[in-house]
Amino acid sequence: MKIGIFGGTFNPPHIGHVQAVKTAAEQNNIDFLIIIPAGIPPHKILPDSTPDSEKRYIMTKNAFSLLKNTKISDLEIYSKENNYTIDSVEKIQKEYPNAETLLLVGTDMYNSIDTWKDSERLLKKVTPVLLPRNVIPISSSEIREMLPLRKGREFLADSNYAYIIKYRLYGAKPDFDWLSEKALSMLNPLRIPHVKACQTEAVRLAKRWGVDPDDAREAAILHDITKKLDFSQNMCIIAENGNSVNLINKNEEKLLHAITGAILAKSEFGVSDEVADAIKWHTTGRAKMSMLEKIIYIADYIEATRSFPGVDRLRIAAYENIDDAMMIGLEMTVSDLKSRGITPNESTFSAISDLGK
Ligand SMILES: [Fe+2]
Ligand SMILES: [Fe+2]
């Protein structure tokens, strides 16, 4: 049996790693692959943004999950000391005494193999195999640079991209097409035009009022992601996150989606506190709203698919004086609820009295 060993920091693991290993395994008739994500590697000083070992281990598992006869080893990942290839190779050879061991290495490593710890002994135990270059010409460091620019998704396994966004590893920000796809799949299809239009309106308002349009876009895309959920599903999300809410009446159930939307936007999509707050307060408003909160509140109210008496007045106000627009919107909400015999939420009154000061 031929075993192929491939170690690396996998920071993050990408499709270039997987393809190169797959090709090398085919070309060398390797029967079984052992992938070893490094703990604290002796050859490299890791960049500051490096996720902890656990996260790199999980991502490495995700990345290689489609390769057959492949095991992700935790030999090195949790070790607090420097790990040397010779040590890991000897451990593996004890486990597989009759196998031939091939060590898969990239060009840089291949050229410096003489400088590795106990290199002579190592080279008696393994056959080094140079990984094919440029199967997919991309490196982890290039991906790390792309992620904060909302790029690089195509070089990662889907599960890893979602994972990186969830924890915003490497300062990653979500690709908007990806985020929209995820968010829209959580909606009742009838709500899709509303959310798309809300996005357009929020970006326009953000540019008008000097707020980061990308923050506004993230908030707008995600603002209704839990709207489809029923009462108990919403309450579950709230309880699971250690929160609680007091509902003063049956109508307040409709407000839950703003709270749970903010929770999921943060826990699943890693949004900032500012974006989460804009989602949280998009139905009721509150005192001392940030500009981003006002923008999402108003965008939700006036986006292009909305039609109700007074919407044109609100649309004009939104671009002339957003506080006037807020006041009009909040008061419309109050009178609409009252006309239906529903007590408006306290936060809505706080928002009105705050703006009236
Ligand atoms: Fe909503
Ligand atoms: Fe909405």
Ligand of minimum distance to the alpha carbon of 283 = 1
Residues of the chain with CATH 1.10.3210.10: 176-356
Tell how far the Cα of 46 is from the centroid of ligand 2, in angstroms. Answer: 43
Of 22-31, 205-214, 335-344, the poorest mean pLDDT is in: 335-344
Mean pLDDT across the stretch 319-325?
Answer: 98
Rounded distance from Cα 223 to ligand 2 centre (Å): 6
Q: Are 347 and 285 in contact (CB under 8 A)?
A: yes
**Ligand 2 centroid vs 238 CA: distance in angstroms?**
19
The third-level CATH classification (topology) of the domain covering 2-169 is Rossmann fold (3.40.50)
- Distance of CA 111 to CAs 108, 115, 321, Å? 5, 9, 65
What spacing in Å lies between the alpha carbon of 168 and ligand 2's midpoint? Answer: 25
For residue 259, which ligand has an atom nearest its CA? 1
The string of pLDDT tens digits covering residues 275-284 is 999 999 999 9
Task: Say what the pLDDT of residue 43 is.
Answer: 61
Q: What is the pTM of this model?
A: 0.93
DSSP annotation of 344: P
Distance 282 CA to ligand 1 centre (A): 7
CA of 257 to the centre of ligand 1 (A): 7
Ligand 2 centroid, distance to 289 Cα (angstroms): 18
pLDDT tens digit string along 155-178? 999 999 999 999 999 999 999 999
Nearest ligand, measured from the Cα of 196: 2
Three-state DSSP class for 7? strand
Asked if the model's pLDDT at residue 39 lies above 90, the reply is no
How far apart (Å, rounded) are the C-alpha atoms in residues 75 and 73? Answer: 5
Q: What is the Å distance from ligand 1's center to 223 Cα?
A: 6
Residue 309 alpha carbon to ligand 1 centre in Å: 20
Give the range with max mean pLDDT: 83-97, 206-220, 237-251: 206-220
Q: What is the DSSP letter of 82?
A: B
- 79-83, 130-134, 238-242 — which one is most confidently predicted on average? 238-242
Q: Is the pLDDT of residue 84 over 80?
A: yes
Contacts of 49 (CB under 8 A, 6+ apart): 144, 169, 170, 171
Structure tokens at 127: 């056959």
pLDDT of residue 109: 82
pLDDT class of 246 with cuts at 50, 70, 90:
confident
What does the alpha-carbon distance between residue 37 and residue 248 come to, in Å, rounded to a whole number?
52
| Nearest residue to 106 via CA among 198, 17, 218, 23 | 17
Alpha carbon of 221 to ligand 2 centroid (Å): 9
Confidence category of residue 132, pLDDT binned at 50, 70, 90: confident
Check pLDDT > 80 for residue 96: yes
pLDDT given at position 42? 58
Considering every ligand atom shown, identify the ligand nearest to the alpha carbon of residue 262 and give its number: 1
Ligand nearest to the CA of 281: 1
| pLDDT at 247 exceeding the cut of 80 | no
Nearest to 58, CA basis, from 169, 133, 149: 169
* Ligand 2 ion: residues within 5 Å (CB): 224, 300
CA of 224 to the centre of ligand 2 (A): 5
Q: Give the CA radius of gyration of the chain.
A: 27
- Confidence band for 249, pLDDT divided at 50, 70 and 90: low
Q: What is the pLDDT of residue 41?
A: 58
pLDDT for residue 248 is more than 70: no
Q: How far is the CA of 186 from the centre of ligand 1 (A)?
A: 13
Nearest ligand to the CA atom of 228: 1
Positions of CATH 3.40.50.620 in the chain = 2-169
192 contacts: CB under 8 Å, gap ≥ 6: 184
Q: Which ligand is nearest to the CA of 300?
A: 2
Distance 129 CA to ligand 2 centre (A): 56
The pLDDT confidence band at residue 305, using thresholds 50, 70 and 90, is very high
> Are residues 318 and 296 in contact, defined by beta-carbon separation less than 8 angstroms?
no
User: What is the whole-number distance in angstroms between the Cα of residue 247 and the centre of ligand 2?
Assistant: 20
Contact 342, 249 (CB under 8 A): yes
Mean pLDDT of all residues in 284-300: 98
Sheet of strand 2-8, all strands in order from the earlier edge strand to the far edge: 70-72, 32-37, 2-8, 100-105, 127-130
Question: What's the gap in Å between 316 CA and the centre of ligand 2?
Answer: 20
At the second CATH level, the architecture of 176-356 is Orthogonal Bundle (1.10)
Residue 202 confidence (pLDDT) above 70? yes
